[in-house]
């Protein structure tokens, strides 16, 4: 699946607009499903996705995330079962994380301070 979310931090009162860009290719009814996220912040997108997928009657539904910011949650009761790291409210780059398409190719995760990557 691929989703695009926007607006949660843009003064919309915590409401994000979520758009499906690609749906599942397989049925999930009766199957165990693990959602893989890079970062979980407010939980709005994950919550929407979970509600949508539960309608398809999976046997179980859980989430795993590399970076977690539980103190930013606007939604409770998310099925986050596995967390790589709980991180502070900073901007991370590298290892696939980018800012304006920059720094994505760094082999490690770094904190972006202003326009300088902190190692």
pLDDT means over runs of 10, the chain (119 residues) = 69 66 94 95 92 96 96 92 94 90 92 74
CATH architecture of the domain formed by 2-88: 3-Layer(aba) Sandwich (3.40)
Q: Which residue has the tokens 């997928």?
A: 53
The one catalytic residue in 41, 68, 98, 108 is 41
What is the pLDDT, as a whole number, of residue 105?
Answer: 94
- Cα(18)–Cα(41) distance, integer angstroms: 15
What is the pLDDT, as a whole number, of residue 20?
Answer: 86
Q: Which residue has the tokens 């499903």?
A: 33
Q: Is 77 a catalytic residue?
A: no
Domain ranges of the chain: 2-88, 91-119
What is the pLDDT, as a whole number, of residue 79?
Answer: 93
């Amino acid at each position: 699946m691929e989703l695009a979310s926007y607006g949660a931090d843009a003064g919309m009162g915590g409401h994000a607009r979520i758009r499906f860009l690609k749906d599942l290719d397989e049925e999930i009814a009766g199957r165990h499903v693990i959602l893989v996220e890079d970062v979980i912040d407010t939980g709005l997108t994950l919550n929407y996705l979970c509600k949508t997928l539960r309608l398809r009657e999976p046997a179980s539904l859980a989430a795993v995330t590399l970076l977690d910011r539980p103190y930013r949650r606007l939604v409770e009761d998310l099925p986050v079962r596995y967390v790589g790291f709980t991180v502070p409210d900073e901007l991370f780059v590298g290892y696939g994380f980018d800012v304006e398409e920059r720094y994505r190719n760094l082999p490690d995760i770094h904190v972006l301070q202003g326009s300088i990557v902190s190692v």
